[in-house]
Amino acid sequence: MAKIAILSDIHSNYEALTAVLAKCDEFGVDKYVSLGDIVGYNADPSICLEMVRSLDLICAVKGNHDEYASSNDDLMEGFNPHAKRAVLWTKTQLTSEQRNWLANMPLRATVPGTNITIVHATLDSPDNWGYVFDLHHAADNFAYQFTQICFCGHSHVPVAFYKKPISTMSERPIEEILAWTHQSDEGVSPKDTLVSDVLSVRLETGYKYLFNIGSVGQPRNHDPRASFAIIDTDTKEVFRQRVAYDFHTTQKKVLEAGLPERLAARLEYGN
């Protein structure tokens, strides 16, 4: 096992997923991991789900949209009205077998043969669908992290932290990996969104890492490119990759499906 692609929040975006998988082929990815929310928001839930299932998928967890799309809860109290409308539509697009597959995924898991934990939301309370945005949230997560690395999603905003070894006796045991979080996320020009780029983080012995990898299918960090990660277990590096895709086609499909216009519009701006 060498290169593992970590995908999260695909959200039924066929064009974004196709672009990501093409980039994974370029990188020579061997295995795949899903952090959840394969469905929801966009217009291709069934084909995206089958694409993920066809991969060499070594581990997968359930997201909140997966949970609602596979359950009999049509009320979804507290859920965003646009998200709720998309989930109700998604239920009509999935077979009972597909919904059962989503329903049976765990909320958190350890990737077999690795020192990696995965979760859609947070390790401390995965079923509450909380978010990791800052050092406080990271500290809560690290308290429940018993592997060197944890990958999460859910917020659609890339952010990363590391926890120093106890032996360092640091006054600030947890630090944000600023390059991962702020890699030109603000003020991305239209020209920039037409290309792909990558950032790497080298893993150090004795440190723990928490990576929120952003979203494949609905980025919210003011960069419309699909975001995902690749970990090379041989070189001990984690790469954050961003890939341009044809979001105009995705927008058209969303509108043709009768889904909220807002869901289409936000894809262009990554918000």
Tell me the per-residue pLDDT of 10-32, one tens digit each, with 9 for 90 and over.
999 999 999 999 999 999 999 99
pLDDT tens string 148-184? 999 999 999 999 999 999 767 667 899 999 999 875 4
Domains identified in the chain, total number: 1
> CA-based angle 32:38:43, to the nearest 5?
130
* CATH assignment at residue 42: 3.60.21.10
Query: CA-to-CA distance for 128 and 122, rounded, in angstroms?
Result: 8
Q: What are phi and psi of 215, to 5 degrees?
A: -125, 140
| pTM of structure | 0.93
pLDDT tens string 43-89? 999 999 999 999 999 999 999 999 999 998 888 887 899 999 999 99
Give the residue numbers spanning the domain of 115: 3-269
